[in-house]
């Protein structure tokens, strides 16, 4: 994965190299390898003429600092040559809501994938509905079939690849082709793969969103979102960020920048560990099915293999039918898997979930209780031993 030659190198740089070098200016940083944390609001102008002309590298803290610029430059390098700009938001949901408000207005129609992150659905069914935007949900496997749902007033199509609970894999290039033919923008929640493993802008997406709280930060200690856009969509996104006053705290910006320097090595470990654990789960008699596109047996594997260069540490499993008390006993027995509503950090996590009450375009009926796992950086034998104890408790309670 490379991008065009820039001023720092006579040859194109691999994405792994870009993660380490992009956004670094050691001369401006007085020789330090990391940019400093700049905390500031007011920027002083040397002359009245400079003030009138808004002449200066920075104008006001909300619009950016040397720290935010370094992160934006690094993210643009990671997103690839089609990225015209990157906006920073205080959370992943903040990035999603800002992007939607940037491109929609009263009377517009929005198409949203039925496997979308639930807080995104809540925003669409709540605030967007109150503001006069109508949302229709579509089957994650519809592909070009969403054409029948597109209307003259459809302004955008929102996808998530894969869905972060049920892991259906949409055909983004097919969706983008029909959406663009009808004049609609395509927005992708790319948090699961990150641009390191999925450059969605290269596949026809106009706006790529990430909850940088997850893998970009990588240490479960920041709340952060990013909005990357191509030349068609960036003017709308940048205007929305300016008008809404969206900005991020300098310490979180610094931590996100620090996190992406090690993104490649962390994701490589998460991928190896998750694939190993997914295959292990597939051998367990208590498990009906593993939901992970990187597995050859997964229905979305062909699309994943075509469109992605890697997989990350998040997947789900479907247990064989069992009472809730047995599932709870399994969860309560685990000591190395924390129960928490996030992922992408160094630690392993597990949560139960059930999409059946809120999916509207498709029926969620997996055939048994479902659990979502994030595989962290722990030793795999230790994780498997922890899960075996959990399954012993599960079987005894069932």
Kindly name the residue from 69, 199, 214, 266 that is annotated as catalytic.
Answer: 214
Whether 197 is catalytic is no
- CA–CA separation, 287 and 270 (whole Å): 21
Kindly name the residue from 108, 189, 202, 206 that is annotated as catalytic.
Answer: 189
Strands 349-353 and 314-319 turn out to be: unpaired
Whether 131 is catalytic is no
Kindly name the residue from 69, 114, 117, 252 that is annotated as catalytic.
Answer: 117
Q: Which residues pair with 113 in a beta bridge?
A: 138
Kindly name the residue from 6, 45, 60, 62 that is annotated as catalytic.
Answer: 62
For residue 143, is it left (φ>0), alpha (ψ between -120 and 50) or beta? left
Whether 117 is catalytic is yes
Strands 185-189 and 154-160 turn out to be: parallel
Whether 189 is catalytic is yes
DSSP state of 115: T
Contacts of 280 (CB under 8 A, 6+ apart): 384
Burial track 359-386 (b if 16+ CB lie within 10 A, e otherwise): bebbebebebbbbbbbbbeeeeeebeeb
Are 63 and 242 in contact by the 8 Å Cβ rule? The answer is: yes
The DSSP secondary structure of 165-193, one letter per residue, reads: TT-----HHHHHHHHHHTT-EEEEE-TTT
Closest CA to 166 of 361, 335, 327: 361
Q: Which residues pair with 45 in a beta bridge?
A: none
Helix then strand then coil, in percent of the chain rounded to 5, is 40, 15, 45
**At 59, which helix (H) or strand (E)?**
none
- CA–CA separation, 109 and 93 (whole Å): 20
Active-site residue set: 62, 117, 189, 214
């Amino acid at each position: 994965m490379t991008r065009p030659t820039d001023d720092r190198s006579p040859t194109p740089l691999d994405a792994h190299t870009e993660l380490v070098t992009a956004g670094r200016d050691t001369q401006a940083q007085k020789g330090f390898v990391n940019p400093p944390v700049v905390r500031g609001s007011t920027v002083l102008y040397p002359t009245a003429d400079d003030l009138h002309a808004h002449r200066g590298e920075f104008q006001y803290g909300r619009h950016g600092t040397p720290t935010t610029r370094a992160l934006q430059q690094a993210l643009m390098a990671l997103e690839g040559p089609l990225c015209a700009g990157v906006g920073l938001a205080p959370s992943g949901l903040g990035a999603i809501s800002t992007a939607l408000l940037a491109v929609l207005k009263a009377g517009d129609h929005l198409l949203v994938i039925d496997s979308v992150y639930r807080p995104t659905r809540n925003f669409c069914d709540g605030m967007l509905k109150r503001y006069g935007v109508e949302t229709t949900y579509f089957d994650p496997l519809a592909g070009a079939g969403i054409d029948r749902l597109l209307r003259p007033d459809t302004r955008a199509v929102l996808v998530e690849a894969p869905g972060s609970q049920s892991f259906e894999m949409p055909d983004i290039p097919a969706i983008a082709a029909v959406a663009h033919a009808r004049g609609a923008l395509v927005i992708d929640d790319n948090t699961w793969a990150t641009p390191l493993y999925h450059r969605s802008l290269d596949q026809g997406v106009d706006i790529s969103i990430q909850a940088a709280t997850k893998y970009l930060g990588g240490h479960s200690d920041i709340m952060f979102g990013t909005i990357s856009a191509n030349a068609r969509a960036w003017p709308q996104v940048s205007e929305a960020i300016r008008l809404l006053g969206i900005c991020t705290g300098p310490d979180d910006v610094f931590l996100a920048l620090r996190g992406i320097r090690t993104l490649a090595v962390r994701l490589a470990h998460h991928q190896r560990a998750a694939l190993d654990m997914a295959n292990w789960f597939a051998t367990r008699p208590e498990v009906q099915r593993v939901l992970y596109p990187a597995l050859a047996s997964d229905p979305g594997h062909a699309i994943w293999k075509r469109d992605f260069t890697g997989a990350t540490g998040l997947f789900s499993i479907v247990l064989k039918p069992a009472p809730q008390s047995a599932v709870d006993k399994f969860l309560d027995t685990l000591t190395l898997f924390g129960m928490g509503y996030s992922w992408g950090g160094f630690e392993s996590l597990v949560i139960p979930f059930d999409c059946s009450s809120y999916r509207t375009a498709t029926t969620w009926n997996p055939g048994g209780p479902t659990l979502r796992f994030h595989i962290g950086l722990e030793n795999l034998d230790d994780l498997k031993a922890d899960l075996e104890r959990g399954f012993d408790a599960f079987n005894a309670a069932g």
